[in-house]
């Protein structure tokens, strides 16, 4: 019998597993298809404490994996397709096994929505980003574009004015979905220009980095090109929670609802950490912090309910 089953191998999952294992619990961590989580597609991380020089995402996540193994976490490559939290022990149905555990920690993350262009995949980390807080710093005095029309896009555009020479917000409609107060801040910022009724058809580059965008006006169909150094795709995130529908309480966007001070979900014995329950502060260090809370909460739960 597993004491704590951790679903997900990002910063939240590894940290939760390390804390639960160091508390003496038998811990199994399931990696999912993206072992190491979102950071494995990132070239440089400059904001994770403890590394004075930038560290690559794969290197940071490999260190977390090694640390987890060292403290006794059993790491298994499997993906959960279905869960049954109606009674204890909880049952999680993977592709290669059914996992029965006394407690579960969910750390399945949230994926950025992308445009779906081949060029976008090619240039991720080389000019294409989905996170201004993570990568804005690399675009000092550069020309950048933000794609989207909701609150996230407007926030990203405003944040990028701290670094970039100019920011162009590209939106396919003629009005923004963002809150009015956010729009007002955007309209008065002299560094920001808005391209209305415009869709990105392709991201242009020189094989090393992004150099521009191919655009199409949605009303006239006219094509144009715009030189840029960076492109921030800000069209939303999708929490990885489809397997928990009907089992746990989620908000309207699908994020798992947790107790405000702890990592408790709507089911006693099931805990949550990281981007999957955090639409606002999607950062590795926050996920790791929440993972710590979940690891401690799971251990406390087991000491009462073992």
Q: Kindly list the residues in this chain that would bind ligand FAD in the complex (CB under 6 A).
A: 7-13, 30-34, 37-39, 41-42, 45, 47-48, 79-80, 107-109, 112, 124, 129-131, 134, 240, 243, 274-276, 282-285, 287
Contact 282, 268 (CB under 8 A): no
Residue placing its CB nearer to ligand FAD in the complex, 117 or 196: 117
Residue placing its CB nearer to ligand FAD in the complex, 28 or 176: 28
Residue placing its CB nearer to ligand FAD in the complex, 60 or 176: 60
As measured in angstroms, the least distance from the Cβ of 47 to ligand FAD is 5
**DSSP reduced 3-state for 19:** helix
Q: Is the peptide bond before 36 cis (omega within 30 degrees of 0)?
A: no
As measured in angstroms, the least distance from the Cβ of 40 to ligand FAD is 8
The neighbouring-strand residues paired with 192 are 167
As measured in angstroms, the least distance from the Cβ of 164 to ligand FAD is 17
The bridge status of strand 98-106 relative to strand 90-94 is antiparallel
CA angle at 197 for the pair 196 and 199, rounded to the nearest 5°: 110
As measured in angstroms, the least distance from the Cβ of 1 to ligand FAD is 20
As measured in angstroms, the least distance from the Cβ of 108 to ligand FAD is 4
As measured in angstroms, the least distance from the Cβ of 13 to ligand FAD is 5
Residue placing its CB nearer to ligand FAD in the complex, 198 or 282: 282
Read off the DSSP letter of residue 45.
B
Contact 37, 137 (CB under 8 A): no
Catalytic residue numbers, as ranges = 131, 134-135
State how far the Cα of 1 lies from the Cα of 247, in Å rounded to an integer: 22
Residue placing its CB nearer to ligand FAD in the complex, 49 or 220: 49
The neighbouring-strand residues paired with 143 are 166
Q: Residue written as tokens 């403890």?
A: 50
State how far the Cα of 24 lies from the Cα of 70, in Å rounded to an integer: 13
Residue placing its CB nearer to ligand FAD in the complex, 233 or 302: 233
Give the residue from 185, 177, 179 showing the smallest Cα distance to 157. Answer: 185
State how far the Cα of 109 lies from the Cα of 37, in Å rounded to an integer: 8
- Tokens for 189? 């910022």
Alpha helices per DSSP H over the chain: 11-22, 57-70, 118-123, 132-135, 151-160, 180-188, 284-305
């Amino acid at each position: 019998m597993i004491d704590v089953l951790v679903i997900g191998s990002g910063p939240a999952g590894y940290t939760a597993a390390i804390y639960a294992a160091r508390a003496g619990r038998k811990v199994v961590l399931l990696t999912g298809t993206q072992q190491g989580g979102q950071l494995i597609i990132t070239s440089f991380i400059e904001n994770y404490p403890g590394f004075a020089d930038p560290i690559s995402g794969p290197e940071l996540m490999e260190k977390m994996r090694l640390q987890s193994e060292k403290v006794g976490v059993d790491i298994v490559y499997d993906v959960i397709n279905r869960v049954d939290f109606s009674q204890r022990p909880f049952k999680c149905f993977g592709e290669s096994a059914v996992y029965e555990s006394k407690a579960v920690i969910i750390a399945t993350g949230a994926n950025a929505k992308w445009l779906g262009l081949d060029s976008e995949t090619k240039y991720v980390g080389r000019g294409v980003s989905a996170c201004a807080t993570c990568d804005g710093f690399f675009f000092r005095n550069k020309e950048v574009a933000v794609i989207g029309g909701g609150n996230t896009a407007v926030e990203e555009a405003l944040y990028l004015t701290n670094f970039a020479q100019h920011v162009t917000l590209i939106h396919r409609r003629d009005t923004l979905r963002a809150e009015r107060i956010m729009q007002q801040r955007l309209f008065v910022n002299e560094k920001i220009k808005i391209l209305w009724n415009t869709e990105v058809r392709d991201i242009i580059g020189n094989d090393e980095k992004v150099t521009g965008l191919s655009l199409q006006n949605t009303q006239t169909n006219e094509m144009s090109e715009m030189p840029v150094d960076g492109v921030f795709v800000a069209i939303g995130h999708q929490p990885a929670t489809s397997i928990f529908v009907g089992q746990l309480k989620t908000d309207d966007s699908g994020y798992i609802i947790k107790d405000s001070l702890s990592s408790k979900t709507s089911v006693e014995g099931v805990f949550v950490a990281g981007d999957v329950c955090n639409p606002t502060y999607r950062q590795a260090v926050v996920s790791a912090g929440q993972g710590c809370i979940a690891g401690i909460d799971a251990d406390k739960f087991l000491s009462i309910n073992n």
